[in-house]
Amino acid sequence: MQQRSLRAVAASLAISLVPLTAAAAELPAVPTPDASFESGSLHVDRFGHGDAIVLLPGLTVGTWEWADTIRHLAPAHTVYAVSFPGFDGRPAAAAPLFDRVTGDFWAFLDRQHVARPVLIGHSLGGTLAILLGEQHPERLHAIVAIDGLPVFPGLDTLTAEQRAAAVDKAAATVATETHAQLLEYEQGYMRAAGGVIDPDLAAAAAELSARSEPAAVAQWMREDFSADLRPALPKVTVPLLEIVPYNAPDLASAPFQYTEEQKVQYYRALLAGAPQLAVVSISPARHFVMLDQPQRVFGAIDAFLAQHP
């Protein structure tokens, strides 16, 4: 396996971003939070009032990916946007990150008296939302995973040892990258490999993603890509919605040339142990579907929340 092969897998299988219809593609500004606070390794911004929703970001990503989502949800909900250590200019934290971050998450709920929130996680954040649902489903109301899975797609047939060996090689390369090298990778990923469809929007997202610390990104990759949460999925007893982005032109030349229905069925199979699973596909869309197709994502989330008030 070549040094960047895992990142190539990530690029080709994260094929899930969506096309913007606006004439000028600019990332929306994040609203001003009503309050901000720290919980161990986590930074949290709070918006709005109502039933609690917690937003968990993807790999290398900050609150900026949720700007329009916050605007949509905050009028009727208290929205907590979490920032992970090492991303978007935030200081890194010591490994193991999955254990540290989930522990800090439960502490945040305790200190802020947040009762049974809905978790909405993108990519890495979706994987962590599933992990949190396995740890304490009684403390959650529901989970929305946006292109986030219990095992990294494409690595699901490998043994734990094979995943760890493959991930270590790729992560070691990332850990030593300069900011310029990380930016170059993010530009390629966002524009062509599965990030966002609109090239101008992709350029803006790449600039923000490259503000992350390469060594921290590498450690997150090690833990994310080597994880397999499938054995404990039956513990996720709360309703779980998986949003699957699909963009046919990307998959036409990808190693896995799925139709939209085949991709949905593949994701459904990876999540098969979850007792209350729903799967929705959004097309055309790439990995950052909430940027490319915000209204369709909001519609899927609203319908899911209406089914589980």
Structure confidence by residue, pLDDT tens digits, 115-156: 999 999 999 999 999 999 999 999 999 999 999 999 999 899
| Residue 239, phi then psi, degrees to nearest 5 | -60, 135
Provide the whole-model pTM.
0.90
Q: Output the pLDDT for position 16.
A: 33
**Is residue 293 within 8 Å of 285, Cβ to Cβ?**
yes
Is it the case that residue 37 has pLDDT exceeding 70?
yes
Domains (ranges, CATH) in the chain?
Answer: 5-307 (3.40.50.1820)
Select from 86, 40, 80 the least CA-distant residue to 63.
Answer: 80
Is it the case that residue 264 has pLDDT exceeding 60?
yes
pLDDT band at residue 25, thresholds of 50, 70 and 90? low
Distance linking the first and last C-alpha atoms of the chain? 47
Give the residue-averaged pLDDT of 277-294: 96
Angle at Cα 64 formed by Cα 59 and Cα 66, nearest 5°?
A: 85
Q: Output the pLDDT for position 289.
A: 96
Round the average pLDDT of the chain to a whole number and report it. 90
Instruction: Indicate the range of 1-15, 213-227, 236-250 predicted with least confidence.
Output: 1-15
Q: Output the pLDDT for position 175.
A: 93
